[in-house]
């Protein structure tokens, strides 16, 4: 039977705050439901919305969370561990910046910070199992990304060593998610060691094709790299387990290209936009995903340098709904078909 994707969903990370209705799960879930969203992707690090440790240990708590969502007319699409996953692998160049993602007691202590991140990931696997979720989204972290451009010349074996270590750190985590029955969709993203198809393949090879190593497909990061994001679906559709619906635009000038000259987001040649305001071909994307029977969630990740987030959220639900293709169960030309059998086929071939 053909499959149709779920949606619209919304990633709550960019909306959570200390102000109502964005400061608790019941109120933010009702807000999302009122806009027409059917699913919410929960940032597992935000204690205002979710208690990851309790979710990992208590099925009762998870049932309460699901009940809160159901009362608001939504369900959980996935848990996100983008911040914790980032800390599974950190090049020393980023130590000070990424300490902000972790609790104060592990600051200035990379080993303790990594151990905390791995523990968080293990809890996320248990929480996903308790919530009955088939998908999860995260970042893989980065050891090699400071060396993304080959100048100074990279020593032979440097990248191979980085990906060997990255896979070593992630394999036990992926095994835990396998026990939970949950795929991990890594967001392929500059700043991560996995930032395009080639690097994803390197990681997957080091993991010996681990079945839970999947992709959170976000075309905005591909457009800003000038990668063919439609062909990407043709190549990797079997590994796409999640979908961030996010728009972007690339307007190169005589002064700026892909790297955008360290400019602020609003002044960059490559910048994120609200849905429908950028250059991403979502008609092509939704068609490709429908072609390959993608049946999981389409989740808006709002990031725009111009538009107010609440306006972006309000526009996002109908935008996604209008793009989801209810996949047909019959061929358009069935009306013209006739009964055939083996002998008829042979006669039509002159045999």
Report domain extents, the chain.
6-348
What average pLDDT is seen over the chain? Answer: 97
Percent of the chain with pLDDT over 90: 95
Q: Which CATH superfamily is domain 6-348 in?
A: Divalent-metal-dependent TIM barrel enzymes (3.20.20.150)
Q: With contact defined as beta carbons under 8 Å apart, do 68 and 29 qualify?
A: yes
Looking at residue 330, what is its pLDDT?
A: 80
Chain segment 95-151, per-residue pLDDT in tens: 999 999 999 999 999 999 999 999 999 999 999 999 999 999 999 999 999 999 999
pLDDT band at residue 329 using 50, 70 and 90 as cut-offs: confident
Spatial distance between the Cα atoms of 317 and 325, rounded to a whole number of angstroms: 14
Looking at residue 90, what is its pLDDT?
A: 98
pLDDT band at residue 58 using 50, 70 and 90 as cut-offs: very high
**Residue 276 exposed, middle or buried by CB count within 10 Å (0-12, 13-18, 19+):** middle
Tokens of 257: 């290209």
Spatial distance between the Cα atoms of 213 and 207, rounded to a whole number of angstroms: 8
Looking at residue 334, what is its pLDDT?
A: 72
Looking at residue 64, what is its pLDDT?
A: 98
Chain segment 62-90, per-residue pLDDT in tens: 999 999 999 999 999 999 999 999 999 99
Q: Is the peptide bond before 8 cis (omega within 30 degrees of 0)?
A: yes
- Exposed e or buried b for every residue in 338-351, given b needs 16+ CB within 10 A? eeeeeeeeeeeeee
Looking at residue 341, what is its pLDDT?
A: 87
Looking at residue 340, what is its pLDDT?
A: 79
């Amino acid at each position: 039977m053909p499959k149709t994707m779920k949606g619209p969903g919304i990633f709550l990370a960019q909306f959570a705050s200390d102000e109502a209705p964005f400061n608790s799960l019941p109120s933010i879930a009702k807000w999302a439901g009122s806009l027409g969203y059917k699913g919410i992707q929960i940032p597992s690090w935000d204690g205002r919305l979710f208690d990851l440790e309790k979710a990992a240990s208590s099925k009762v708590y998870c049932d309460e969370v699901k009940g809160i969502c159901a009362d608001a007319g939504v369900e959980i699409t996935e848990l996100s561990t983008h911040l914790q996953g980032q800390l599974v692998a950190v090049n020393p160049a980023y130590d000070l910046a990424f300490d902000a993602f972790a609790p104060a007691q592990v600051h200035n202590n990379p080993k303790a910070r990594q151990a905390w991140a791995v523990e968080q990931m293990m809890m996320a696997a248990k929480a996903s199992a308790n919530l009955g979720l088939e998908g999860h989204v995260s970042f893989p972290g980065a050891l090699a990304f400071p060396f993304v451009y080959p100048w100074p010349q990279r020593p032979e074996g440097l990248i191979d060593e980085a990906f060997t270590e990255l896979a070593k750190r992630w394999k036990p985590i992926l095994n835990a998610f396998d026990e939970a029955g949950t795929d991990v969709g890594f967001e392929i993203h500059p700043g991560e060691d996995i930032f395009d198809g080639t690097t994803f393949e390197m990681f997957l090879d080091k993991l010996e094709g681990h079945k839970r190593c999947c992709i959170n497909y976000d075309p905005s990061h591909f457009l800003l790299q000038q990668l063919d994001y439609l062909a990407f679906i043709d190549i990797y559709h079997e590994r796409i387990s999640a979908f961030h619906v996010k728009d972007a635009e690339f307007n190169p000038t005589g002064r700026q290209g892909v790297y955008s000259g360290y400019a602020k987001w609003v002044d960059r040649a490559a910048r994120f936009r609200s849905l429908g305001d950028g250059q991403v071909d979502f008609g092509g994307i939704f068609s490709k995903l429908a072609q390959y029977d993608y049946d999981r969630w389409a989740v808006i990740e709002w990031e725009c340098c111009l538009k107010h987030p609440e306006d972006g959220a309000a526009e996002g639900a109908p935008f996604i709904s209008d793009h989801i293709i209810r996949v047909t169960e019959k061929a358009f030309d069935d009306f013209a078909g006739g009964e055939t059998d083996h002998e008829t086929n042979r006669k039509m071939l002159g045999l």
